[in-house]
Structure 1
């Protein structure tokens, strides 16, 4: 997913003009006439705003994934486990794929009308960090190395199946919700359009206000993450991985966003295989290969714990499964009729 820099912003001002028609004896009102006053948003502000949205929503995605692991893991419901084909990241991949059908497909245009940066932050930042490809593949490799080949194969098949149908289910439910919202808007007598326009981030002042608020929230999250990281790491607790993941998540999201520029370009001058998201695919393969390489470092337990603690959260934020599965099942779902 790419965000064009230097996008022109259009400000529309409604005016009423009245013209006197000579020889007829009455006035003709022509209006409202929209006069477009185009001002260019500074590219640096646009770029910084996009990076901040990605960083903040990336951290929120990591926190959501951790909560889902605790909720459905051995300490909670007990539906998922590291030693089963129902792996720990399965609930987060399903929820992220479901929300991709809402935010990344059906309501994508509506969110972009409010703010393009918000759409990028929700899809690439939040959903990209909520789902993970490298962590899922690494768990299946661990099962295969331990001799549980059946669990590994079932985990891959079930993971792809549930992620794909979570996107389809999300698209269908989002269509129904959008239809209900449109009926409610048509039946209402209030000025919905004017209230919706008040939420648009369409000028420099609003962009600056959003950037300042998000910077404060990002600084607060970094401060809390750093404080708890020091406490958990000094005590030797595995909870340090969560707070370190929050600190390195923005870097992984930014790398995935930059690589996403390769999506939709295809190969060569002819642009072959444009339907393949090469940017997201490269990010997933690199993260999975790095996770597999780190898994071989098991000579010293402390060294292995240190490397896993510092690198595993970064790789999980770099890789994503929702957009990859969405592109794989793009044509069967027939999304062009949204």
Structure 2
């Protein structure tokens, strides 16, 4: 039962975060690509990979908290359904180039974000191991 409370509580925060970013008006951006959703999904991919990376071996957190952050917060924050809806809207408007670029950028930037987050989380783990070794030597 506890895990459902964590998922729901963190999910509430993730939904508010998504709603807030979705409503930012990027005044200098005039392209057809839904930049808000792109930002949400790329940053969500980054943080999901980062959380999994840092909690894999180095930082142990309760499973309920991890579920709350990953499934609750980041699950409600990221939005595949909005990506699909916006993609269909671009296609029905005849914006084939923008539709193609939107999918391409969403995938490419999310994969890059996952790679960077994984590298950072591994780096954090290594630094902590080095500190622990130095502490033992004292």
Shorter-chain TM-score bucket reads: 0.7 to 0.9
Which stretches in structure 2 are left out of the alignment for 5+ residues?
A: none
CA contact (8 A) 1:69 1:91 kept: no
Question: Quick one: distance in 2 between partners of 1:149 and 1:174?
Answer: 37
Q: CA deviation at 1:115?
A: 0.7
Partner of 1:151: 98
**Greater helix percent: which structure?**
2
Partner of 1:64: 17
Task: Work out whether 1:119 is the aligned partner of 2:66.
Answer: yes
**Greater strand percent: which structure?**
1
Question: Quick one: distance in 2 between partners of 1:56 and 1:120?
Answer: 11
Q: Which has the higher contact order (CA 8 A, sep 6+)?
A: 2
Backbone CA RMSD of aligned residues: 2.1
Question: Relative to structure 1, is the Cα distance of residues 66 and 185 closer, same or farther in structure 2, using a 3 angstrom cutoff?
Answer: farther
Question: Quick one: distance in 2 between partners of 1:103 and 1:109?
Answer: 11
Partner of 2:8: 55
Task: Work out whether 1:129 is the aligned partner of 2:81.
Answer: no
Q: CA deviation at 1:171?
A: 0.3
CA contact (8 A) 2:58 2:125 kept: no
Q: CA deviation at 1:87?
A: 3.0
Question: Relative to structure 1, is the Cα distance of residues 58 and 128 closer, same or farther in structure 2, using a 3 angstrom cutoff?
Answer: same
Structure 1 residues 223-266: Cα deviation after superposition (integer angstroms, max 9, x where no partner):
xxxxxxxxxxxxxxxxxxxxxxxxxxxxxxxxxxxxxxxxxxxx
Partner of 1:163: 110
Partner of 2:44: 96
Question: Quick one: distance in 2 between partners of 1:53 and 1:169?
Answer: 27
Question: Quick one: distance in 2 between partners of 1:159 and 1:153?
Answer: 10
Secondary structure of the residue aligned to 1:107 is: helix
Partner of 1:178: 125
CA contact (8 A) 2:41 2:110 kept: yes
Instruction: Using structure 1 for the length normalisation, give the TM-score.
Output: 0.37
CA contact (8 A) 1:58 1:128 kept: yes
Question: Quick one: distance in 1 between partners of 2:130 and 2:77?
Answer: 32
How many residue pairs get matched? Answer: 136
CA contact (8 A) 2:17 2:77 kept: yes
CA contact (8 A) 2:54 2:124 kept: no
Question: Quick one: distance in 2 between partners of 1:84 and 1:184?
Answer: 48
Secondary structure of the residue aligned to 1:129 is: helix
Whose radius of gyration is greater, 1 or 2?
Answer: 1
